[in-house]
Chains A and B, each alone.
Chain A
Amino acid sequence: MIALIVDGRRYDVDVPADKPLLWVLREDLAIVGPKFGCGIAVCGACTVHVDGDAVRSCSVPVGEVAGRAVTTIEGLGRDQLHAVQRAWIEEQVPQCGYCQPGFIMAAVALLKDKPQPTDRDIDEALTNICRCGTYSAIRRAVHRAAAIMGGAS
């Protein structure tokens, strides 16, 4: 049994310790917000937070996150939408939407490190893939989220 804390809830799962976190979330906990895109940590669709840091959950063995706080897109704005999600709605970012949970989680982590990121910071930190090409909307939304969060503090 591996003890997990996901989106504030505790779970005990009976899975091999080398099963990637992504598949434990999607298959064992029915948390399907984090997406599968490549399985080898190159696309970012599966991004979640572990203790507040963005990780690509397809390539993190679940054994490594036992007892640590995992946050997914589904938990991020459960009670109240996160500022990044509000910015994403205001800028109407998603097209097909499949990559967006990963981008949003990566953006939240970026803004924690750099509350006022430059375009260059955004380009360097958000290395996820969007096949629909929502990149300029993403840039705008990250700046908007920074403004919302800056205003709030």
Chain B
Amino acid sequence: MKLSRRKAIIGGIVGAGFVGVGWWFAQERDRLGDVRLFNVKSDQAALNGWVKIDRHDSVIVAVPRAEMGQGVQTGLAMLVAEEMDARWDQVRVEDPPDDPVYRNVTVLLDALPFSPEVRGATVDGARWATGKVAGVLGISITGGSTSMRDAFLPMRTAGAVARDLLLRAASRKSGVAAGDLVVSEGAVRRRDGAVVARFGELVDFVGDLKPVQAPKLKDPAQFKLLGKSLPRIDVPAKVRGTATFGIDVRQPDQLHAAVRNAPTFGGAAVGFDLKGELPKEIKKVVIVPGGIAAIGTSWWFANRFLDDGLVVRWRPGPAPKLDSAALWKQYEGLLETGSAALTRTLGEAVKAAKPRVVEATYRAPYLAHATMEPMNCTARVGKRGVEVWMPNQSPTLVRKVAAETAGVATANVTVHTTFLGGGFGRRFETDLVRQAVTCALAMPERPVQVLWSREEDIRHDFYRPMALARWRGELDVSGGTPRLTGVTKRQVGQSSSDAFTERAFGAPALGQPEGNAVENPAYAFPFYRLEAVVADGAVPVGFWRSVGHSHSTFFDESFVDELANALGKDPFTFRRELLADKPRHLRVLETAAHEAGWGSPLPPGYGRGIALRASFGSIVAQVAEVAVEGGALRVTRVTCAVDCGPVIHPQIVRMQMESGIIYGLSAALHGEITVSEGSVEQANFPDYEVVRLAEAPAMSVHIVDGAAAEVGGIGEPGTPPIAPAVANAVFAATGKRLRDLPLRLA
């Protein structure tokens, strides 16, 4: 097909993924940001919207992404520091105000319900439109493993622009021609290295200097900081116990509120009766969206008061009788007869001379995020507008929802993003904003901190959707050795992206499956057909670390193992054959297998399993080693290989892989949210157990350089492969195939 020139340009920009997006916005002057944007104080000078310097020789970088452990403050600051040749020990970070310049475009491009390989006019058009919309809306979001991918060019550009300005400012100050000056190690110098001005001495000389429009970025060979495991910016405060999380916010006159959410999904409080006098510790009882809050001087007291001090009248939600068994039944029906919202066919179906069918059905349950810091939000509503302090993944949405709730313009809302005690997708949601602002409206001029107990947190999450899938493989057994002729997958589940866009933007549901739940496996199957059925449901669903990959990788990689077994092949060898034309994937797979000692003997009761997934721009393979002894399953060792493109900070990459593995392992071994009588049955860590130290396997992470130019994500790609790797290892150890999550031997 011949493309029109315009179409080719659009397709090229979009098709190039992050580079395209980065380039596109690098051309837009406003992505650099005006010098007035970034809260400039009197002893500071801003060089653009991303960086300022102060008289104490600090370089202050705007990090508009939430630090939730993924090292984003460090990683993003490194981009600026590299290009402006700052010293790492002079770099600080600050949360800039919410502004379109800090938008995250990549996350929305990623969220489209198309596999990255799928092309065509509709898809490219949708990608392009989404990019435009993201640009116009200016959504500041941390998630989808996009921060580095999105910032890689804009923030380096900001650093390069800053460097050029400092050079010219130093020339102005010293009278030395800019051409005779260089920047290195946090100072402007003569070519022989003699210092002409430290950055801090240039605060008064930047003045009206105009930024260059198209600065030259460094060639990667010149990088001094990028690629090094520099000390993380956030670590010292977190070790001293002085880092401020949302729950730690303390403002003058602050009150504390505890909440009980409606027991059934979608229910509400309609009234309440006090059992006695209102105690002096409680200022007010307020009905809030989704529940009821007691506001007082002590959260501990208010939380207890909600149990002992009043009787709430609840209006049940739309499905007060809902239970998990009925849901599975409904899904089983949809698996048989539901019409597919999305179908996709790759390759030609070939009729086998002598067919044999391999079929398997897999299940994944709902999961809670269980961030270590329970949900909270602090808000004040007063004459000066609305102020919100919150550990959140999207200040733009927080601001929008706070404005709606308080009935003011967004311009009157200020959002402060604190450290996040874990995000994992839960902190995109704005349910707590509505509750906190509602409480704050009841207590004018007083900050109110709404905090949920762990029980509320587990019972009122936006869950990773439960899902059901049936894989079918066709073999031709007419020859001597069986041959794979094709595979088909039918999958049923709610759509977290539909649910989220409806909640967040009031956009009508597209009825489309969540994008990366339906991404194609990397393997070159002779024929592949996908049918995705979208289920409606009363259980609220949302984004959970690695989103749709979290269950579909379990389905896909378990079945690839079953196919290998049916073909009488080693699971590693079989995958290698199917990846023959994908050199990057192949190297990742081979590295994991090699480092794990694939094929070397193991004691009886032990087994190894392998799994691979490309997600969020990176490729990850893992080999799990398990021991099944006395009916108990123990994961002893996990070997992980990752190709995430250019590596900014190797240690953070390794830590994120380990983090993703443990998060995924908690789900694989324990995670299960079940529903009964319209409510979640689990409530706290004893019945929603997670991996602790004693269960944590030995882990090794190997970074593979596949010579890719594009930066990949690291926050999520470590999670998807672990569950199937463990299930496959259990099969190797015992011959028993576990097809339901969480993995249970009996």
Instruction: Verify that A and B bind, or say they do not.
Output: yes
Give the B-binding residues of A (Cβ under 8 A): 19-20, 23, 27, 30, 32-40, 42-43, 45, 72-74, 76-77, 81, 85, 88-89, 92-101, 104, 122-124, 126-139
Q: Please, how many angstroms separate the alpha-carbon atoms of A93 and B297 in the complex?
A: 35
Query: What are 19 inter-chain pairs, A to B, with CB distance below 8 A?
Result: A19-B298, A23-B300, A27-B256, A33-B242, A35-B247, A39-B453, A40-B684, A43-B372, A72-B241, A73-B240, A89-B235, A89-B239, A92-B231, A97-B239, A98-B372, A129-B690, A130-B662, A131-B372, A132-B372
Q: Please, how many angstroms separate the alpha-carbon atoms of A132 and B694 in the complex?
A: 15
Q: Name the B residues within 8 Å of A130 (CB-CB).
A: 372, 662
Q: Determine how close the nearest CB of chain B comes to the CB of A122; give it in whole angstroms.
A: 7
Q: Please, how many angstroms separate the alpha-carbon atoms of A95 and B74 in the complex?
A: 12
B residues 660-699 near A (Cβ < 8 Å) are: 660-663, 666, 684-686, 690-694, 696, 698-699
> Which among A42, A128, A134, A139 is the interface contact of B686 at CB below 8 angstroms?
A42
Known: A32-B248, A36-B247, A133-B659. A97 touches B454 (CB 8 A): no
Considering the complex of A and B, which 5 residue pairs feature the smallest CB-CB distances, nearest first? A133-B662, A33-B241, A98-B421, A95-B69, A97-B238
Is the C-beta of B568 less than 8 angstroms from some C-beta in chain A?
Answer: no
Chain B residue, CB-CB nearest to A22: B300
Q: Are B69 and A97 in contact (CB under 8 A)?
A: yes
Give the A-binding residues of B (Cβ under 8 A): 67-71, 229, 231-232, 234-245, 247-248, 250, 256, 297-301, 370-374, 419-424, 451, 453-454, 651, 655, 658-663, 666, 684-686, 690-694, 696, 698-699
Q: Name the B residues within 8 Å of A122 (CB-CB).
A: 693
Q: Determine how close the nearest CB of chain A comes to the CB of B277; give it in whole angstroms.
A: 17
Q: Are B241 and A74 in contact (CB under 8 A)?
A: yes
Known: A40-B684, A72-B241, A97-B243. A92 touches B692 (CB 8 A): no
Chain A residue, CB-CB nearest to B371: A131
Q: Please, how many angstroms separate the alpha-carbon atoms of A97 and B67 in the complex?
A: 10
Known: A27-B300, A94-B239, A127-B692. A32 touches B247 (CB 8 A): yes
> Which among A27, A74, A81, A129 is the interface contact of B298 at CB below 8 angstroms?
A27
Q: Are B693 and A37 in contact (CB under 8 A)?
A: no
Q: Are A123 and B694 in contact (CB under 8 A)?
A: yes
Q: Are B250 and A133 in contact (CB under 8 A)?
A: no
Q: Determine how close the nearest CB of chain A comes to the CB of B299; give it in whole angstroms.
A: 7
Q: Please, how many angstroms separate the alpha-carbon atoms of A23 and B247 in the complex?
A: 12
Known: A30-B250, A35-B421, A89-B236. A129 touches B692 (CB 8 A): yes
Q: Determine how close the nearest CB of chain A comes to the CB of B247; give it in whole angstroms.
A: 6
Chain B residue, CB-CB nearest to A139: B693
Q: Please, how many angstroms separate the alpha-carbon atoms of A94 and B421 in the complex?
A: 11
Q: Please, how many angstroms separate the alpha-carbon atoms of A72 and B68 in the complex?
A: 23
Q: Determine how close the nearest CB of chain A comes to the CB of B685; give it in whole angstroms.
A: 5
Q: Determine how close the nearest CB of chain B comes to the CB of A126; give it in whole angstroms.
A: 5
Q: Name the B residues within 8 Å of A93 (CB-CB).
A: 235, 239
Q: Are A98 and B245 in contact (CB under 8 A)?
A: yes
Q: Are A126 and B693 in contact (CB under 8 A)?
A: yes
Q: Please, how many angstroms separate the alpha-carbon atoms of A70 and B696 in the complex?
A: 31
> Which among A30, A89, A96 is the interface contact of B420 at CB below 8 angstroms?
A96
